[in-house]
Chain A
Amino acid sequence: MATSSLPRKSRDKNRFRRYVLFVVFLLLAAIITTAYYKGNVHSKVAVLRTYGQDIVAPFQSVFLDVGRPIGSFISDAINDKNIAQQNKLLTQEIQRLKSDSSNTSSALWMLQALTNLNALPYAQNYSLVPAQVIAQGPSNFELSVEIDKGTSNGIAVGMPVVNSQGLVGRVIEAGSTDSIVLLLPDARTSVSVSIVNGSNVVTGILSGTASFSSFDVSFVQPGSPVKRGDEVITSSQQGNLYPPGIPVGTVSSVVDNAGSLQMGIKVKPSTNFSSLIYVAVLQWLPSP
């Protein structure tokens, strides 16, 4: 073999060098991680990341125009378990649309989506910045999207992001022309919420589960009047990261075991996170 033809002394030296290099780079990576967690590197990394976003943003816009239809087609083809059923429904839908006298175009649809954003019932008291989603977060361990508006449009880190269905997430990084939005289903998200059941209001902490289909609500006392179908909105508690009254979802299951310290509540999101196109950033910041 290749390395065995070398003299033994040289082989040992090479092996030693290899291990030293490994340990040095491993330590370097560990130091970077520790400094990020404990030191003041956080803000410097954020600045570097902002520059990185500004570099990639134009490329993302180009690929978005070309790739979104193809990407959606491939994703739908792979993800859909009932493609035949969906095909049937789509065929019926096409026939219905054909018979419809009104000519619905994509421009009208976009106009409708943007009009809906401007007339959000829960955001009447806040200024809105409409934005388009230009990319999804490339990591498989975070749920985020990139939008085409940044600090030059009045967006700042911490501002909540909504759409016509409800709460979407909040801005966690803001470049000059684009921003990163951490989606509500990301496991790092926690929101103080109110579960509304008629005149009864129960508060709890909603957290992301890394899934688009459900959230968990914790810290709800056993025996609280919560039932399936109750509406979940952001609470008016002081210090909340979101303004009060924004729809988050509906209660999908309630487990109230005798003897447990809290109720097990699952919430179905009101927002469809897998097809986000237009969102609005609320120009609201949590009180420090």
Chain B
Amino acid sequence: MVAQSLKTQNRTTKPFVFGIVMLNIVLWIINFSLFSVFSIGSVHPDISMLTTIVVACYFGAEAGVITGFFSGVLFDLGLTTPFGFSPLTLVILGFFLGVAFAKKNQFSRFSLALTAGFGAMIYEILYASISQLAGQPHMISAKLVFIISVAFLTNFVFVVLFARFIGWSLFNKINNPFSRKRFVR
């Protein structure tokens, strides 16, 4: 099993990293075009951190850190906020999620959704805290609670579909760790 072997050997292969980078570019375009149209009270669904969360949970801290860095850099390229906050936050998130789930090789749909939801919450809090520390005003405000709630909800809803999309785009049928049968009941 790919997920298991990658975690066991604690090694990320070059084609895998290349695939993740390409996937991030596609997701970046989707995030900045499709998801910029939809908003709930001026808060947008943010799928940029989903790649990092899914990869860290399934492939370990090493893959989580690399993915977090590249998706963060890409995401920041589309924003007007100071450059570097997203990779900083996603590297931390990728590492700690990878370490926390180092011994877990399979997820149920619900546990993956819950992990992605809480991952989003941690990401938003970390991002706001780092930005506030770096001198950005009004980052930790009443609105943050609303942002966290929307991020939790969207990640909770989208993550299984998203994991299937990663599986479909990066693996063949036999190796796919996100195929329907691989989810624990």
The chain A residues found within 8 Å of chain B, CB to CB, are 1-6, 14, 17-18, 21-22, 25-26, 28-30, 32-37, 41, 45, 48-49, 52-53, 55-56, 59-60, 62-64, 67-68, 70-71, 74-75, 78-79, 135-144, 146, 172-173, 180, 182, 187-188, 207-212, 274
Contact = CB atoms under 8 A, between A and B. Distances in A.
28 contacts: A3-B102, A4-B103, A14-B9, A14-B10, A22-B61, A22-B65, A22-B95, A25-B68, A26-B88, A36-B83, A45-B77, A45-B83, A48-B77, A59-B33, A60-B36, A67-B37, A67-B38, A71-B37, A74-B38, A75-B39, A135-B33, A140-B151, A143-B42, A144-B80, A146-B36, A182-B80, A187-B136, A188-B137
B60 to A, nearest CB: 8
A170 to B, nearest CB: 12
Contacts of B95: 22, 26
B143 A211 contact: yes
Nearest to B77: A52
Interface in B46-98: 46, 60-62, 65-66, 68-69, 72-73, 77-85, 87-88, 91-92, 95, 98
Interface stretch (B107-115, B123-131, B159-167, B168-176): B123-131
Interface string B1-39: 000100111100000000000000000010111111111
Given A33-B84, A59-B29, 13 more contacts: A22-B65, A30-B84, A32-B83, A36-B83, A49-B77, A56-B78, A60-B37, A135-B32, A135-B37, A141-B127, A142-B80, A187-B136, A210-B138
Interface in B115-162: 124, 127-128, 131, 134, 136-139, 141, 143, 147, 150-151
A22 B83 contact: no
B103 A1 contact: yes
A29 B91 contact: yes
B128 to A, nearest CB: 7
A188 to B, nearest CB: 7
A171 B176 CA distance: 46
Given A2-B4, A60-B32, A137-B79, A187 B65 contact: no
Nearest to A188: B137
A79 to B, nearest CB: 5
A142 B138 contact: no
Contacts of B43: 140
B115 to A, nearest CB: 18
A146 B44 CA distance: 15
Given A14-B10, A22-B61, A25-B65, A138 B84 contact: no
Interface residues of B, number: 63
Nearest to A49: B77
A4 B150 CA distance: 38
B83 A209 contact: no
B84 A75 contact: no
A141 B29 CA distance: 19
B37 A29 contact: no
B179 interface: no
A45 to B, nearest CB: 5
A78 B43 CA distance: 12
Nearest to A52: B77
Contacts of B7: 2-3
Contacts of A79: 40-41
Contacts of B92: 26
A274 B92 CA distance: 34
A68 B46 CA distance: 18
A29 to B, nearest CB: 4
6 nearest A-B residue pairs (beta carbon): A33-B84, A187-B138, A67-B37, A59-B33, A32-B84, A14-B10
B183 to A, nearest CB: 18
Contact of A138 (B32, B99, B138): B32
A70 B38 CA distance: 8
Contacts of A49: 77-80
B99 to A, nearest CB: 8
A210 B134 CA distance: 17
B84 A142 contact: no
B84 A3 contact: no
B48 to A, nearest CB: 8
Contacts of A188: 136-137
